[in-house]
């Protein structure tokens, strides 16, 4: 979601947390909505619910969104191990987020 679609401002997130050696530099920073940032925490990996494999999370600095996700209605479906693990760790399909995305889609804003 874009920042203007959220009730509060986005937060600056370390893609790789400082405690895991990530640096505070542009290449390792990304804007994240508070919901996603809270759920991500210092995680750099998650479990792919389909295979059970430990995989790294989606990195918006190096990954292409469409290679790992698709939106169906308001639901974000992970289409790769990285996408599925990221959707689970960040809780991308919390009921309120799905509802907001579905409403925005009917307004052709997504």
pLDDT at 7: 58
d(C-alpha 90, C-alpha 44), whole Å: 11
What is the domain extent for residue 55? 3-106
Which of 14-18, 81-85, 104-108 shows the lowest mean pLDDT across its residues?
Answer: 104-108
pLDDT in tens, 39-95: 999 999 999 999 999 999 999 999 999 999 999 989 999 999 999 999 999 999 999
**Confidence band of 110 (pLDDT split at 50, 70, 90):** very low
pLDDT at 25 > cutoff 90? yes
pLDDT at 89: 98
108 versus 98: the higher-pLDDT residue is 98
d(C-alpha 55, C-alpha 96), whole Å: 27
Give 42-93 as a 3 state SS string: CCCEEECCCCCCEEECCCCCCCCHHHCEEEECCEEEECCHHHHHHHHHCCCC
pLDDT at 87: 98
Domain total in the chain: 1
């Amino acid at each position: 979601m874009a920042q203007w679609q959220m009730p509060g401002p986005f937060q600056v997130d370390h893609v790789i947390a400082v405690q895991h050696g990530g640096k505070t530099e542009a290449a390792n920073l990304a804007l994240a909505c508070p919901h996603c940032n809270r759920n991500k925490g210092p995680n750099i990996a998650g479990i792919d619910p389909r295979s059970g494999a430990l995989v790294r999370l989606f990195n918006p600095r190096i990954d292409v969104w469409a290679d790992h996700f698709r939106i169906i209605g308001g639901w974000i479906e992970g289409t790769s191990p990285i996408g599925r693990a990221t959707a689970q760790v960040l809780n991308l399909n919390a009921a309120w987020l799905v509802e907001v995305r579905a409403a925005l889609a009917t307004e052709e804003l997504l």
